[in-house]
Amino acid sequence: MKNIVITGGTSGIGAAVVSRILERKHQVYILDISKPQEKRATFIPCNMGSRESIDTAIAGLPATIDALINIAGVSGTKPGEIVIAVNFLGLRHLAQALFTRLGGGCVVNVASTAGRDWSLRETEVRSLLDTQDFASGIEWIANNKAVWQENPYKFSKQCAAAYTYRAVKLAMAHSVRVNCVNPGIVGTQLSTDFKNMLGSEKYDWVVAQIGREGRPDDIAQVIEYLSIGECQWLNGVEIVVDGGYTAGIIDGWIKPPA
């Protein structure tokens, strides 16, 4: 039986992953701000936007962990400082704090297709990645509002996706693998927020190109494979899970409206 830590495991994609991991008879620790209905997992309250809350949660985790799955996130409807703190700084802080407990295990970070183009803003993204810890990251956010304030959600996910490559080097000393999943549009409790962010017309148009919204379990299937599947040589990759939408954009057979 493996020890699996899952942030954001109370709802949406996180809850779907929890269900799949529990079906495999592993021990699951859920870190979330809301208590889950799932009684078979161990719940540890945690606000991923707070270093103090994360450190308190870490104290309640086992000494040996087989996989960390970072799913917790907030939409762009929250203040930008909170969005970046939760979606990137908290994710990074937790992962790096647990590398020593994850020897031989893995980390799976969930970013977004909104962040897969991070290389277009590589200088700005790397600037935040270069901060040394949570506190210096918060300071960077306060001093660089012009960089992220137009779309803090997208910037936070660009940082989370780009972090994959840096984390591989940091984790390798502990024989830990790090991979990233970039989901497209998925029907969850945050769907209304994302419709408001994109605009309902654009949201519905994207869904129409691929036939349906993604379902939480569509993403959970991939996360399950990366975290407990037989893929020991898979390390440092971003995997887009969006029903083929990104493929259509890249090849041109999906053409966004002007």
Task: Note if 225 is an active site residue.
Answer: no
Per-residue confidence in pLDDT tens, the chain, 258 aa: 999 999 999 999 999 999 999 999 999 999 999 999 999 999 999 999 999 999 999 999 999 999 999 999 999 889 999 999 999 999 999 999 999 999 999 999 999 999 999 999 999 999 999 999 999 999 999 999 999 999 999 999 999 999 999 999 999 999 999 999 999 999 888 778 777 777 888 889 999 999 999 999 999 999 999 999 999 999 999 999 999 999 999 999 999 887
Asked, for residue 102, whether it belongs to a domain, the answer is yes
pTM of the model: 0.96
Asked, for residue 194, whether it belongs to a domain, the answer is yes
Distance CA 68, CA 158 (A): 20
Asked, for residue 256, whether it belongs to a domain, the answer is no
Distance CA 66, CA 75 (A): 29
Q: What is the total count of domains within the chain?
A: 1
Asked, for residue 258, whether it belongs to a domain, the answer is no
Instruction: Name the one residue in this structure whose structure tokens are 């809301």.
Output: 34
Among 29, 153, 203, 245, the active-site one is 153
Q: What is the DSSP letter of 118?
A: G
Which range marks the domain in which residue 83 is found? 3-251
Domain of 223, CATH number, reads 3.40.50.720
